[in-house]
Amino acid sequence: MRRTMLLPGALLAILAIAPHSQVAAASGQAIAAAPAAECSINWLGHEAEIEKFIAEAKVLKMEDVPIGVTKPQRATLEPGGPAGRFAWKPINPGYYQGFMESYKAEIAAYQMDRLLGMNMVPPIVERVINGRNGAAIMWVENTRPWSIEKPPQGPEPGWSKQLTRMKMFDLLIANIDRNQGNLIYDADWHLILIDHSRGFIGKKNLKGIAPIGRVDRQLWEKMQALTLESLETGLGKLVSTNDKKAILIRRDLMAKQIAELVAKRGENSVFYDN
């Protein structure tokens, strides 16, 4: 994944484009001019088929991606399947440039996305290549990268709601690495979330992650319904029990933030209801 680190203020400026307010290698095909002419969210309803294909299909070619501190690769698969390529991240759990990273966090992000019904993280499975375990991340075609100079502003209120869901997701999973290098979108203004190898750490506070200004009520209700048991079922051994407990601690801290927002601004100005 591309690691273009931002100071907190710069990141907030990038994300503050709502009215109230992957590398392109891990999953995106960078396009320099206009957005692509087709929707890239083509995995919905076909998750099981795609997961099986990217886990088992013959790899015709592996190529290095010339950016990213974890040195991902891109695999081209045999033709005729539901996916043409995947990003390959064989990141063994450990510290890299001072940050804890793991390929398992990538898979956990996809599983959490499914648990919450967000449909913003593309299919990701574990795969062994040349004796190495790693995350095979469906390469989402026909997407455009984020531009700091000219941040995208999609149709409202849908675009702002997607940004809100992204911020809520990042707070929940402790994704401390959201930056313009892992924000991509398609011609239909679907925001696609990639690069979560630094998430799911035992962080018990919300510092260092972009705060929310509004709340998607439907997503929040699903987050509120999470229990240790549901996380054990949904995430399995991808995330330790202690780190699952940290998810719930962060969720409860989010609840306090949301209560403060409601007290200050009123419920109608905080929640998106549909």
- pLDDT of 29: 41
Q: Where are the alpha helices (DSSP H) in the chain?
A: 8-15, 24-27, 47-56, 103-116, 158-173, 217-224, 228-235, 241-265, 267-270
Q: How many structural domains is the chain composed of?
A: 1
Task: Give a yes or no: residue 1 inside a domain.
Answer: no
- pLDDT of 67: 62
Task: Give a yes or no: residue 127 inside a domain.
Answer: yes
pTM here is: 0.87
Task: Give a yes or no: residue 241 inside a domain.
Answer: yes
Q: Which of 72, 67, 238 is nearest to 145 (CA)?
A: 67
- pLDDT of 133: 96
Task: Please count the helices (runs of H) and the strands (runs of E) in the chain.
Answer: 9, 12
For the stretch 212-230, pLDDT in tens is 999 999 999 999 999 999 9
Task: Give a yes or no: residue 136 inside a domain.
Answer: yes
- pLDDT of 13: 43
C-alpha separations of 20 from 149, 183, 216, 219 in Å: 20, 20, 14, 19
Bridge partners (DSSP) listed for residue 66? none
Task: Give a yes or no: residue 2 inside a domain.
Answer: no
For the stretch 186-205, pLDDT in tens is 999 999 999 999 999 999 99
274 residues of the chain, pLDDT tens digit each: 444 434 344 444 445 433 333 443 344 443 333 444 468 899 999 999 999 999 999 999 999 876 655 678 999 999 999 999 999 999 999 998 889 999 999 999 999 999 999 999 999 999 999 999 999 999 999 999 888 888 999 999 999 999 999 999 999 999 999 988 888 999 999 999 999 999 999 999 999 999 999 999 999 999 999 999 999 999 999 999 999 999 999 999 999 999 999 999 999 999 999 7
Phi, psi of 34 (to 5 degrees): -75, 160
Task: Give a yes or no: residue 95 inside a domain.
Answer: yes
Task: Give a yes or no: residue 40 inside a domain.
Answer: yes
- pLDDT of 9: 41
Query: Within a 10 A sphere around the Cβ of 116, how many other Cβ atoms?
Result: 22
- pLDDT of 131: 94
Contacts of 51 (CB under 8 A, 6+ apart): 123, 125
For 234, the domain range is 8-272
Please, are residues 88 and 134 in contact by the beta-carbon 8 Å criterion?
Answer: yes
